[in-house]
Structure 1
Amino acid sequence: MVSASKQAAMGAHQPPLWRVILAGLIGNVMEWYDFALYGYFVGIFGDQFFPSSDPNASLIAAFGAFAAGFLVRPLGGVVLGRIGDRVGRRQALTLSVMAMALATVSMAILPTYQQVGLWAPIALVLLRILQGLSAGGEYTTSIVFLAEHAPANRRGLVTIWGLWGSVLGMLLGSAAGTLLSDSLSAAQMSSWGWRLPFALGLLVALTGFVLRRGLNSETPPAASARPVQALARHSGAVLRVLLLNVASSVAFYTAFVYVITYIQSEAGQSESVALALNTRVMGLLLIFYPIAAWISDRLGRKPLLIAGSLLLVLAGLPIFELLHSGNPTWISRGEILLMLAVALLAGAKNPANVELMPQAVRCTGLALAFNVAEGYFGGTTPLIASWLVSTSGNPLLPGYWVALAGAITLITALWFTPESCRLPLQRL
């Protein structure tokens, strides 16, 4: 236990809450700005880095490179999580944002297949892997950092800003894509326009570095020298948190990555229309995130987890019927339904991720659980959905994947998850 004198000393050096929130969210802005840009320009990446006579083959290859970054996220999460548990949260967060900055700026100057041949897709995949490794510990360490500095009755509302930063990053990426597609010709976009927003990402990275370097470093609790054994002792908690994150991960990447391509290729909409629809729905998500978090602080985590996952189970197929309609109004309604499910789940799972994870492995265990769910279920969703449509010829089939993800989290929340809203959270 932490002594009263030590708690008083910590309180004397406690940064203001607004500074904590900014430091917690800025890395997520950087991470998702970059990942979003790749998702929005995936068609260009397919043409320039994976050229093929079959456009579907190029698209699937480009989504495969996108998925590669997610497949290594659990490894990056464990490494950065271990640094967070043994060295300190601030050090892990600073290292993460520096690695992301390097990868993002490199994307802006990456040569294409036409220029350097096979080295181009190899370099692209390596950069996706570096981004995946750095992103693996970013979200999880940031919400642990936020939760441990939050008032007990406001953990949901404080920790949601980590995810809010993620959506802000994606919104900035979407806005940049929309602005460029409206301002440049298709030839200009393909030639050099797509590189500009990656270069501008350096400004966000530098801001994050300055904010995090300015925080006082905390002294973490003594952690086991054998992380594998420590994780094994708490395997039940890790598995529970993993399954609770499946539905939100799949829904998020369906709504804000895959749908951009889907409504162009399957619903006949232009790129500018797709990006504009996505930007508006993402703006709504920025509003609904804090509302859902505020509700979870008052009603509890389980009601929102159940409501969000049940919405996906019941509406997975109808959502894709709306998206496939070809009518921008109906497409927008399908995206809004996905957004509501994402918001409900996030308002509950964000604080529950920290509350349900034992302190001894809080960063490491959460990083492993979240990144397996995010990487192997969420990050692969665009690839899986594209494959389902390509092999079956049925454009509605991805709706069943969304419903299955909802069922996994629904079962976990109903029968295997205690209410964690009022549980005391042991802090550093």
Structure 2
Amino acid sequence: MMNTPTFATRTTAAAPAQTSRAARTRLVAAAAVGNALEFYDFTVYAFFALVIGKLFFPVHDPVGQLLLAVASFGVGFFTRPVGGLLIGMYADRAGRKKAMLLTLGLMALGTAMIAVAPTFAQAGIAAPVILVIARLIQGFSAGGEVGASTTLLLEQAPSNRRGFYASWQFASQGLSALAGALTGVALTASLTTAQLESWGWRVPFIIGTAIVPVGWWLRRTMEEAPRESVEAAPKAPKLPLVTVLREHGRAVLNGLGLTIGGTSAHFIIVFYLSIYGVKTLGLPSWTAMLSGCVSGAILFVIAPIGGYLSDRIGRNKLAQTTRIALMLMIYPAFVLLNQSPTTTTLLIVVTVLSIVHSFNVGPTGAMLGELFPREVRATGAAIVYSLGVAIFGGFAQFFVTSLIVITKSVMAPAWYVIGCGVLSVIAVARMRERSRETLD
């Protein structure tokens, strides 16, 4: 029988007194900064997709080249569910901290491979093969990162601040997008096109590899503070996946629906709109990086506010209201972009949509973690998040680019976000409000 866990109303799951505010703050910083470093390495690829497509996929058709570039971005999402499953199970059995160290090491390996990868002109078909392998390693790492870091933040938070603490998982993704876009702006402004294509595109990946030791040190030295309820809590089963699917099927479906709506909007607003502005609207290439800066900064600032509000007014109410608002706004936004294809219009659209989207993702981390009991929480959260992101996020750019070509309609991205948003609204309507309940 499929069911969701019941939550007691007692307060034994509250943070123990010996877990000081300073210790929790350091733990949040370690999780968030390490997560930002990981997703910087993963997402910086998106901002250089056009250059990478030209160097690694030298086809004559520019649309085909773009499709291959965004497909290589999406291929990393194939291994996200596998990474989410395996590393999620490892996190449930060995601890969140060990799993987070593993994901950081794997991300460093994948990023280093891209930094030194030969281009097609240098190595022929071996070049895109190396690139794809590196993306698969990065995807495996990112799939496990979300489950481990989100559950760590959720479980170490005071009972009345779980939404705020867990929101830093997504806020740190905004920080990574901002860092990646700023790096791109600096390189685009200081290098010629020839220099950028020759060696400049490697710089962001070299930076990502070089700063991984900082994240490693933060995570290695953080304390995964024990909780009073952990000693009496059931241990992780030998096969957490079987337990999740057999006993928490409804939670899996609801989590997938929640993830699908958020991730489709995230990848269209944060990543695809910048490419859309350049390739479809004919805007200067630097606007893509500037758009990424705006959306990343907004996500970093607003997502924690959304998490905070979800602790006060309820997660479901905030998630539903902002999701419906975004669905109503996305189509007029694309109409405006196509009627007035200017840099100013693009930045206004990105700003408004990013604000609404950031409020929406604020409570998402807590909502995903609260769907599952502690003994399978990392596994369950990782599965639903990595599957939803792999299918509806990683290939969002590929899907909408293909839809534009097939339908000859530049409004395809808006309909994609609306369709995924409907699934999210249905899922949240089926979820119980848990912001006032104890965790375990």
Which band: TM-score by shorter chain? over 0.9
Q: Measure, in 1, the Cα distance between the counterparts of 2:225 and 2:47.
A: 38
- Match for 2:304: what amino acid? P
Match of 2:63 in 1: 56
Q: Measure, in 2, the Cα distance between the counterparts of 1:163 and 1:235.
A: 25
Provide closer, same or farther for how the CA distance between residues 369 and 45 of structure 1 changes in structure 2, counting only shifts above 3 A: same
Provide closer, same or farther for how the CA distance between residues 264 and 383 of structure 1 changes in structure 2, counting only shifts above 3 A: same
- Tell which deviates more after alignment, 193-202 or 324-333: 324-333
Q: Measure, in 2, the Cα distance between the counterparts of 1:8 and 1:384.
A: 44
Match of 1:222 in 2: 235
Deviations 1:364-419 (A, max 9, x none): 011000111111111111111111112222111111001111111112212x1111
Tell me if structure 1 keeps the 8 A contact 2:113–2:131: no
Q: Measure, in 2, the Cα distance between the counterparts of 1:393 and 1:7.
A: 55
Tell me if structure 1 keeps the 8 A contact 2:241–2:379: no
Q: Measure, in 1, the Cα distance between the counterparts of 2:351 and 2:261.
A: 16
Q: What is the aligned length? A: 423
Tell me if structure 2 keeps the 8 A contact 1:323–1:335: no
Match of 2:230 in 1: none
Residues 51-200 of structure 1: pairs in structure 2 closer than 5 A:
51-200=58-207
Tell me if structure 1 keeps the 8 A contact 2:178–2:295: no
Does 1:237 find its partner at 2:251?
yes
Provide closer, same or farther for how the CA distance between residues 8 and 369 of structure 1 changes in structure 2, counting only shifts above 3 A: closer
* Structure richer in helix, relative to its length: 1
Query: RMSD in angstroms over aligned alpha carbons?
Result: 2.2
- Tell which deviates more after alignment, 190-199 or 390-399: 390-399
Match of 2:319 in 1: 305
Tell me if structure 2 keeps the 8 A contact 1:113–1:121: yes
Q: Which has the higher contact order (CA 8 A, sep 6+)?
A: 2
For structure 2, the residue ranges without an aligned partner over 5 or more in a row are 1-7, 227-232
User: Percent identity of the aligned residues?
Assistant: 32
Tell me if structure 2 keeps the 8 A contact 1:81–1:137: yes
Provide closer, same or farther for how the CA distance between residues 315 and 120 of structure 1 changes in structure 2, counting only shifts above 3 A: same
- Match for 1:283: what amino acid? A
Q: Measure, in 2, the Cα distance between the counterparts of 1:13 and 1:309.
A: 36
TM-score for the superposition, normalised by structure 2: 0.91
Match of 2:291 in 1: 277
- CA shift, 1:15, in A, is 7.0
- Match for 1:386: what amino acid? T
Residues 377-396 of structure 1: pairs in structure 2 closer than 5 A:
377-396=392-411
Q: Measure, in 2, the Cα distance between the counterparts of 1:81 and 1:37.
A: 25
- Match for 1:112: what amino acid? T
- CA shift, 1:277, in A, is 2.9
Match of 1:397 in 2: 412
- CA shift, 1:338, in A, is 2.2
- Tell which deviates more after alignment, 170-179 or 334-343: 334-343
Match of 1:421 in 2: 435
Q: 1:265 aligns with which of 276, 279, 293?
A: 279
Match of 2:349 in 1: 334
- CA shift, 1:152, in A, is 0.8
Provide closer, same or farther for how the CA distance between residues 140 and 202 of structure 1 changes in structure 2, counting only shifts above 3 A: same
Q: 1:411 aligns with which of 422, 426, 431?
A: 426
Q: Measure, in 1, the Cα distance between the counterparts of 2:306 and 2:413.
A: 26
- Tell which deviates more after alignment, 157-166 or 39-48: 157-166
TM-score for the superposition, normalised by structure 1: 0.94
- Tell which deviates more after alignment, 156-165 or 336-345: 336-345
Match of 2:358 in 1: 343
Tell me if structure 1 keeps the 8 A contact 2:173–2:300: no
For structure 1, the residue ranges without an aligned partner over 5 or more in a row are none
Deviations 1:264-313 (A, max 9, x none): 01111111122113312322222211221111110000111111210232
SS in 2 for 1:70: coil
- CA shift, 1:217, in A, is 5.2
SS in 1 for 2:18: helix
Tell me if structure 2 keeps the 8 A contact 1:139–1:163: no
Provide closer, same or farther for how the CA distance between residues 87 and 318 of structure 1 changes in structure 2, counting only shifts above 3 A: same
Provide closer, same or farther for how the CA distance between residues 12 and 351 of structure 1 changes in structure 2, counting only shifts above 3 A: closer
- CA shift, 1:252, in A, is 0.7
- Match for 2:286: what amino acid? S
- Tell which deviates more after alignment, 128-137 or 338-347: 338-347
- Match for 1:33: what amino acid? Y
SS in 2 for 1:71: coil
